[in-house]
Amino acid sequence: MSDLKSFKAEVTRIVGSLARALLSEICSARERDSGSKHNEEEELSALLDALCEDAVDNILKTLHLRDQSLREITAGERDQYEKAVLSLQQRTDQLETKLKAVRLVLQEKVSELKEQLSKSSQLSAVLKDLYVENSQLMKALQVTEQRQKHAEKKNFQLEDKVSALTKLLRDIVPAALAT
């Protein structure tokens, strides 16, 4: 019975270390993603495959060691042991299913990040175009303002000339009418 407990503890330790390693690598990948999202899906997939292989290898090694010790166990204990092994095999299958689900979720996140990157690139291009257009409009506005100032100056000069001509006509017309 104590062998079954130690076996279960060993498998639990292996699975726990796998989960911690997976969580650590996911966090590391997220930190790396802030700078580069290019190979994210491939890296996460490779990491997940490596972690799965390590976990399966460790569980298989543990099963092999336990199988060797099983030969030394009596028939009654052997039934209990086989039940425990079956239970652990089912647990391993469940964990593999969960790992596949995690892989799918990670692939969805990678797809979302790629889509966001694409949208961000498009928005960046639109923003650049807006800056260029705004610069062109500012230059056109400056030219228009300069033309307006020039026109106002010409208008002021013409008003001065009209005023001078009106004064001159007022002085000349009465003198011309008197002669």
Does residue 123 lie within any of the structural domains?
yes
Burial of 7 (0-12, 13-18, 19+ CB in 10 A): buried
The number of angstroms, rounded, from the C-alpha of 63 to the middle of its chain's C-alpha atoms is 41
Does residue 172 lie within any of the structural domains?
no
Does residue 136 lie within any of the structural domains?
no
Does residue 158 lie within any of the structural domains?
no
Q: Which two tokens stand for residue 174?
A: 């009465």
Model confidence over 39-54: pLDDT tens digits? Answer: 666 666 676 667 767 7
Model confidence over 87-107: pLDDT tens digits? Answer: 989 998 998 998 899 889 999
**The model's pTM:** 0.37
pLDDT (0 to 100) of residue 40 = 61
Does residue 110 lie within any of the structural domains?
yes
The mean pLDDT of the chain is 81
Q: Model confidence at 14, in pLDDT bands (50, 70, 90)? A: confident
For 48, the domain range is 2-129
Specify the number of domains making up the chain.
Answer: 1
Does residue 124 lie within any of the structural domains?
yes
Model confidence over 136-177: pLDDT tens digits? Answer: 999 999 999 999 999 999 999 999 999 999 998 888 888 778
Separation of alpha carbons 124 and 7, rounded Å: 57
